[in-house]
């Protein structure tokens, strides 16, 4: 089987995905018309053409601007449903995605608007597409910790709908140490913890996420490779890194896909996974990410299967469900 067919054929889990980053230009255009919002673009093509980024911040500026078209319950339903249809297309059977509440609450759109929309699509996907979804409440790290604490409080009615809390947005200058109190509070409430670290930030930020925030997974983490002691810890404790190759390329974390370290990290024994991050903005959903890796790094079938299995190992699924999918992958690979 050609590797692109195998990529499509294997059931996958996606663990690093920002739902706001799945807003395709077509939907942005449609929602802007619906709400009489004037976009700073002349057409759908012009929106897509504007997606050229220098670094994380230049992307975040457009990402927050784009999210402004999301105003009512149905907008959030449509956003989520469109992503879940992509999951079906790419054979993603389980997804753990980040929601950025502050992106919406700061412009007057509350939990009572976006959560019912998201939940309606998630319920429909479970029933009609057989896809399971967990949500991660992610704090914006460029805002003060006080704001994150207030957001956690505002989420109260929806605690049962979130499995974990996370940390995203502008990394440099906003270390994990800034969020020690809110992560401690979230942990005491029973949430699992993840955080973006080591995307643009130094290995020290990964150490802080592990030691101060007690995270179970690191989002990105590719800069961990600069610190051999940290690498040993990640291997020994099998702490997952949810890596996003196409995002790293588009945000100039790497100059060329051929220089990406994911397969080296995999071969060194780290529990790395492949994810899309913000697929609309970076031009590739999960299969597209696997395909670019394959083109640039000549990934072997064995490496591909390991990466896909890692996505279940690193997930928050119960053990029996993990076992079910892992056995299915083995069977699918053996019969290819």
| Number of residues assigned to the chain | 336
- Between 174 and 287, CB nearer to ligand HPA: 174
- Between 277 and 294, CB nearer to Zn ion: 277
Is 220 known as a binding-site position?
Answer: no
Distance CA 249, CA 256 (A): 6
Taking phi first (over 0 means left), then psi (-120 to 50 degrees means alpha), and beta for anything else, what does residue 208 get? alpha
Distance CA 304, CA 10 (A): 10
Instruction: With CA atoms as reference, report the closest residue to 257 among 299, 217, 215.
Output: 299
Q: Shortest gap between Cβ of 325 and ligand HPA (angstroms)?
A: 26
Instruction: With CA atoms as reference, report the closest residue to 6 among 324, 302, 313, 223.
Output: 302
> Is 96 a binder of ligand HPA (CB under 6 A)?
no
199 is catalytic: yes
CB contact at 8 A, 249 and 295: no
Is 196 known as a binding-site position?
Answer: yes
> Is 169 a binder of ligand HPA (CB under 6 A)?
yes
Q: Shortest gap between Cβ of 4 and ligand HPA (angstroms)?
A: 25
How many residues sit close enough to ligand HPA to count as binding (CB under 6 A)? 11
Give the 3-state DSSP-derived string for 125-153, with helices as H, strands as E and coil as C. Answer: HHHHCCCEEEEEEEEECCCCHHHHHHHHH
Q: Beta strand 192-197 with 162-168: parallel, antiparallel or unpaired?
A: parallel
- Which one of 14, 96, 199, 200 is the catalytic residue? 199
Instruction: With CA atoms as reference, report the closest residue to 94 among 332, 289, 328.
Output: 328
From the list Zn ion, ligand HPA, none, pick the one residue 56 interacts with, judged by a Cβ distance below 5 to 8 Å according to partner type. ligand HPA
> Is 275 a binder of ligand HPA (CB under 6 A)?
no
Q: Which residues contact 82 (CB under 8 A, 6 or more apart)?
A: 22, 24, 27
> Is 260 a binder of ligand HPA (CB under 6 A)?
no
How many residues sit close enough to Zn ion to count as binding (CB under 5 A)? 1
- Between 68 and 301, CB nearer to ligand HPA: 68
Q: Looking at 75, 200, 277, 294, which residue binds Zn ion (CB under 5 A)?
A: 277
- Between 197 and 271, CB nearer to ligand HPA: 197
- Between 10 and 136, CB nearer to Zn ion: 136
Distance CA 322, CA 312 (A): 6
Strand order in the sheet with 162-168: 12-14, 92-99, 132-140, 162-168, 192-197, 217-220, 241-243, 272-274
- Between 168 and 333, CB nearer to ligand HPA: 168
Q: Which of residues 187-216 bind ligand HPA (CB under 6 A)?
A: 196, 199
Distance CA 307, CA 175 (A): 28
Q: Shortest gap between Cβ of 160 and Zn ion (angstroms)?
A: 24
From the list ligand HPA, Zn ion, none, pick the one residue 165 interacts with, judged by a Cβ distance below 5 to 8 Å according to partner type. none
Q: Shortest gap between Cβ of 100 and Zn ion (angstroms)?
A: 10
Q: Looking at 13, 14, 21, 133, which residue binds ligand HPA (CB under 6 A)?
A: 21
Question: Number of helices and strands (H, E) in the chain?
Answer: 17, 8
Q: Looking at 78, 174, 247, 273, which residue binds ligand HPA (CB under 6 A)?
A: 247
As annotated, the binding site for substrate includes 278
As annotated, the binding site for Zn(2+) includes 16, 18, 196, 277
As annotated, the binding site includes 16, 18, 196, 277-278
Where does this chain bind ligand HPA (CB under 6 A)? 18, 21, 56, 63, 168-169, 196, 199, 247, 277-278
Where does this chain bind Zn ion (CB under 5 A)? 277
Report, as residue numbers or ranges, the catalytic residues: 199
């Amino acid at each position: 089987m050609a590797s692109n067919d195998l990529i499509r054929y294997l059931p996958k889990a996606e663990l690093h995905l920002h739902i706001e980053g799945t807003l395709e230009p077509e939907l942005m255009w449609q929602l802007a018309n619906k709400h009489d919002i004037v976009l700073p673009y002349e057409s759908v093509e012009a929106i897509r053409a504007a997606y050229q980024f220098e670094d994380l911040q230049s992307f975040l500026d457009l990402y927050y601007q784009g999210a402004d078209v999301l105003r009512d319950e149905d907008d959030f339903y449509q956003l989520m449903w469109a992503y879940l249809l992509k999951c079906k297309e790419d054979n993603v059977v389980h997804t753990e995605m980040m929601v950025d509440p502050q992106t919406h609450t700061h412009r007057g759109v509350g939990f009572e608007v976006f959560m019912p929309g998201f939940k309606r699509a998630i319920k429909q996907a479970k029933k009609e597409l057989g896809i399971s979804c967990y949500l991660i409440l992610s704090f914006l790290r460029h805002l003060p910790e006080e704001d994150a604490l207030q957001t956690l409080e505002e989420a109260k009615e929806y605690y049962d709908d979130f499995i974990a809390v996370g940390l995203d947005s502008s990394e440099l200058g906003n270390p994990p140490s800034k969020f020690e109190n809110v992560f401690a509070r979230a942990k005491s409430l029973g949430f699992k913890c993840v955080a973006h670290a080591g995307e643009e930030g130094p290995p020290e930020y990964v150490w802080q996420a592990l030691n101060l925030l007690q995270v179970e997974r690191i989002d990105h983490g590719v800069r961990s490779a600069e610190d051999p002691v940290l690498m040993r810890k990640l291997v020994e404790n099998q702490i997952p890194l949810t890596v996003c190759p196409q995002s790293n390329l588009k945000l100039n974390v790497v100059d060329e896909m051929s220089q990406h370290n994911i397969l080296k990290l995999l071969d060194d024994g780290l529990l790395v996974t492949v994810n899309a991050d913000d697929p609309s903005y970076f031009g590739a959903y999960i299969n597209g990410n696997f395909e670019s890796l394959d083109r640039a790094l000549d990934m072997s079938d064995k490496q591909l299967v390991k990466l896909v299995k890692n996505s279940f190992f690193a997930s928050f699924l119960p053990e029996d469900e993990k076992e079910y999918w892992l056995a299915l992958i083995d069977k699918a690979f053996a019969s290819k």
